Structure 1
Amino acid sequence: MTDDGAHNVDEYIEDLAAFVTASPSSFHAAAEGARRLGEHGFTTLDERDDWSGLGPGRYLVVRDGALVAWVVPDGAGPATGYRVIGAHTDSPGFKLKPHPDVGLLGWQQAGVEIYGGPLLNSWLDRELCFAGRVTTRHGAEHLIATGPVARIPQLAIHLDRTVNEGLALDRQTGVQPVWGAGDPGGLMDRLLRGSGIDPEHVVGWDLVVADTQPPRRFGGAEEFLASGRLDNLSAMHAGLLAMIAAPGDGTLISVLAAFDHEELGSQSRSGASGPLLADVLERITDGLGGDAVDLRRALAASTCLSVDAGHLVHPNQPGRHDPVNRPRPGAGPLLKLNANQRYATDAVGAAMWARACAAARVPYQEFVSHNGVPCGSTIGPLTATRLGIRTIDVGLGLLSMHSVREMCHVDDAAALGAAVAAFLTLPVE
C-alpha cells in the first residue's frame, strides 16, 4: 500500500504498536480506548444513569473489559440506522488463579489457568508480566500492570532428547510461571508493589499474563510487524481511529462495539452473546424518542462490520489452506466467508466491503478455509443472530495466530484501518 493520503503506514503502525503496548489486558484495552476517545470529544456515560434525551454527540460506555462508543449525527431520528464496527479486547493466554502461590524446590511459581486457545509452546522462555484489575473488599476496582516478573522455563534438551520430535506441555504442571526464588508465597505483594494498594485489602482479581517484549517491525524492508495481541487489538485500534474520524453530520449512527471474552465463546455480560450491544442500541433509540417498532426499523437499516484477525497462507504449510483462495502478505485485508455461517458474510455484505475498500483505495482478498481444516468463528454470527443486523466478517491477515507473538504485513494493517473508516461513511444504498 502506498501512502495516498488514506493512511501513512509508518504513523499507523507506530500508533498500533503504542495501543497494543498500552493494552496488556482487556481492561487496559477498554480504558485506553476510552482515554483516546475522550481526547476527541467523547463523553463517558454510566449505565446506571438516565440517557433519555441525549441529542447529537459523541458518547461511550465501559462495561468491565468491553467498550461501546457511538456518534449520534445531527438530524438523527427515532428510526435512524446504525453502522457498527465489532471487535474484541481479549487475547488467548493465561489467567491468574485464586490462591496463586505455588512452587517447590526453591522456586516460587504462579498458579495460572489457560485462557482460550493459546499456542502454549510459544509462551516458553519469554519475560512475562501480569495485568488486569484487582478489587478490594469495599468494591473498589484498580487496574495494574507489572513489568517483567515471570517466565515459563522450558526443559533443557539434555533432559529430554526427544523434545524436537514433538513437545507436548501438560496443561497443569507444564505452564506455571516462575517469578522468584524461595518458599512459595508473596506473589500478590510483588504484583502490587508500587501501586499504592494494600494487598491485605485485595479480595479478587482478573489478572492475565502478557509478554513484555514490545511490538517491532522487521523484514528485509521492515514490511512486517511482530507483536502480541494483534488478534484482536488490530481490529479495536482500527475501530477507534474510525470512530474518531466519524462524521457528526451523517445519515447513520456510528458505533464501535469492542467486546470481551470472544476467545472463550463470548458468553458473558461483556461478551457478544450478552446483552451489552442490544442494551446500548435500544437506549440510543429510546433517547431519540423511538419505541420498540422504531428500534426494529433502525436495526433493519443497520450493518455490522465484524473485524477480527484471519489467516495468511503459511509458506511452510500451504496444504493447510484452500488450494485456490490463498491470502498473501501485503495484498490487503481479508473478507472472511464460510458456507456454514462460522463467518456471517453474504453476497450483499461482500459488495458493501468491496465499496468500502474502493472508497479507501485499498485492495482486499477473500479467505475461506480448507474443507478438511474447519475455521474458528467470530462475533459476527453472534451479532447477526442476536440483533438481525446484516453482518460482514473481515480482518487483518496474520501468521502465528494465537502465538504469544503474532505477525502481519504493515501495509495490510494500514489498509484495514482505511477500509474500516470508509465503511462508516459509505452512502446508504
Structure 2
Amino acid sequence: MTETAMRRERVLRQIPSGIWALGFVSLLMDVSSEMIHGLLPVYLVGVMGASALAVGAIEGVAESTALITRIFSGVLSDWLGKRKLLAALGYGLAAASKPIFPLANSLGWVVAARFIDRIGKGVRGAPRDALIADIAPEKLRGASFGLRQALDTVGAFLGPGLAVLLMLASRNDFRLVFWWAVLPAVLSTALIVFAVREPKVARAKGAARFPLRPSELRRLGTRFWIVAAIAAVFSLARFSEAFLILRARSDGLGEAYAPLVLVVMNLVYALSAYPAGALSDRLGRRGVFLAGIALLIAADLTLAAAGTLVWVAAGLVLWGLHMGFTQGLLSALVADTAPADLRGTGFGALNLVTGVAALAASLIAGALWDRVGPQATFGASAALALLSLIGVGLGARALKAP
C-alpha cells in the first residue's frame, strides 16, 4: 500500500460515525431522487409534451426553491439548536413527495411533486451541513464534507443505473420506476431518525436571538460574504443537469438510456469529491477551487463542440470532476468562515444567493437552448465560469482555510 493510500485510510478511520451515517442517509435519498430525476426531463418532453424552456423553468424553480428554503431552515437550526430535527423533517417531506410522481396524470401534478421534493431538500440542507460541521474535527473538515458528498453522489449514480435497468426490464414503464423510487426514500428517513446523534454546541451569549437580525448577520464576517459572492457568480454558470441529459439526447442517446448521463457524471463526482476535500485540508481551499472552475470551463467547451456521444461522455466526465472539486469545498468554506453558532444561518445565506443564481441560470440555459441551440447554452456557462475564476483571484484571502 502506498503512503498516500495509507494516509487516506487513516483519515477515513478518524472521521466520526455520525458523518458516515449522514453520508448513507444522503446516499439512499439520492438513489430515490435520481431514479426519478434521471428520467424526468425525457418524461416531461417525450410523454407530457413540455418544451426545453419549460424544463428549464421547472428545474430552475425547483432547485432554487430548495436552495432558498435553506436560509429559513438554517436560521431555525441556529435559533432552536435543533439541527437533526429539521434535517429529519426535510428528508421526510422528500420521501412523502415520491409517490406523487407515479400517481400524477398531468404536468401540474409533476411540478407539484418536484416542488415538494425540493422543499424537503431545502429544509434538510443547511441543518444537515451545519450538523456535519458540528460533528467534524476542524482538521478533518474538508475530508468530512468530501466523504458526505461522495456517498451522496454514489446514490446519484446508483439511482440512474437502477432506473436504466428497470426501464429496460419494464419496456419503458416510467411509472413503475417511479414507484420503486419510494423505497430508498423511506429507508433514508428512518436512518437519520435512528442512527444520527446531535452533539451539543457551545452557544455564544445572545446566540438565541433570531439570527436574521442585522447584528447577527454582521457577525458572519467579511470573509463569509466574499465566499457567498464568489459562489453566486459560480452558480450562474451551473445550470440544471437536465440540460446534460438533453444534450446527450440531441446527439442520439435513446430514452431508456437517458439516466446513464447521470451515472457517468455522478460516478466521476463520487470518486473525486472525497480526495478533493482531503486535498484542500492539506494544501488549502483556493487552489482546489480554482482547479474545479477550470474543469467546468473545459466541460462547457467540450459539450458545446460535441457532435457525437463520445464527446458528450468526455464532457460529462469533466463536469463530474468539476462538481467533485467544488461542491464539498464550498460547504467547507462556510464552516471555515462562519461562527460555530451561526453555521446554519451561514449555510442558509449561501444557498439563498446561490438559489437565486440557480433559477436565473436554468432559465437562461433553457431560453438560449430554444432560441439558439445547445452551443449557446454551454458557451454562456463557460463565460460565467471565467468570471467566477477572476472572482476567486480577487477574493483569495477568504478562500484560505484557518
| Shorter-chain TM-score above 0.5 | no
- Higher relative CO (Cα under 8 Å, sequence separation at least 6) belongs to 2
Larger Rg: 1
From the two aligned structures, give the one with the greater helix fraction. 2
TM-score (norm: length of structure 1): 0.28
TM-score of the aligned structures, taking structure 2 as reference length:
0.29
